[in-house]
Amino acid sequence: MAKQLPISLHGGAKGSARTQFAALCWRERRGKVQILLITSRRRKRWIVPKGWPMDGKTPAECALTEAWEEAGVVGKASDACLGVYSYARLREGEEDIPCLAMIYPVKVKALKKKFPERKDRRRKWVSRKKAAKMVSERGLSKLIAGFSPPKSAPAAVEAS
């Protein structure tokens, strides 16, 4: 698998963006869909797990890996991308990086108490409507609000 290169927007270095893969972690409780949100490390905003491409992994596998590392999720990721949203990755003392995040649904089977970033983040189950209000990225908010669980997920990546 090739390494991720910047995506050129408007043809210049200042217009280049990076791709990330995000996980929309969900479950059903009493017939209602719930979304798992986590806090960002520094600013403690509500976000979904996401990260950079990884050599040898599909986008869905990357999203599932990020869900494990950032939220302790054990589940199944669908290979079907729900959509893309943009945001600026803020870096202290440096120029912000424009990012395009491709989001993949992850059906959560379990949440583990011990996971790599447990000391850095909080996690919270909320309704789609509440999750859409809690996140600050408009594009992510729209994707969450319009999310319907896949009826069947024949092509899926599983973690246990």
Q: Provide the CATH number for the domain around residue 55.
A: 3.90.79.10
Are 76 and 109 in contact by the 8 Å Cβ rule? The answer is yes
Residue 70 lies in a domain: yes
153 is a domain residue: no
157 part of a folded domain? no
**Poorest-confidence range of 23-27, 66-70, 88-92, 110-114?**
88-92
Q: What is the mean pLDDT of the chain?
A: 88
Mean pLDDT of 111-125: 97
In a domain, residue 54? The reply is: yes
Which pLDDT band holds residue 86 (cuts at 50, 70, 90)?
Answer: very high
Model confidence band, residue 156 (pLDDT cutoffs 50, 70, 90): low
Range of the domain at 12: 7-148
Whether 156 is covered by a domain: the verdict is no
Burial annotation 80-109 (CB, 10 A radius, 16+ → b, else e): eebbebebeeeeeeeeeebbebbbbbbbbe
* pTM exceeds 0.75: yes
Check pLDDT > 50 for residue 11. Answer: no
**Domain total for the chain?**
1
pLDDT at 151: 75
* Close Cβ partners of 130 (under 8 Å, ≥ 6 residues apart): none
Residue 42 lies in a domain: yes
**Position of tokens 């995040």?**
101
- Establish if 38 belongs to a structural domain: yes
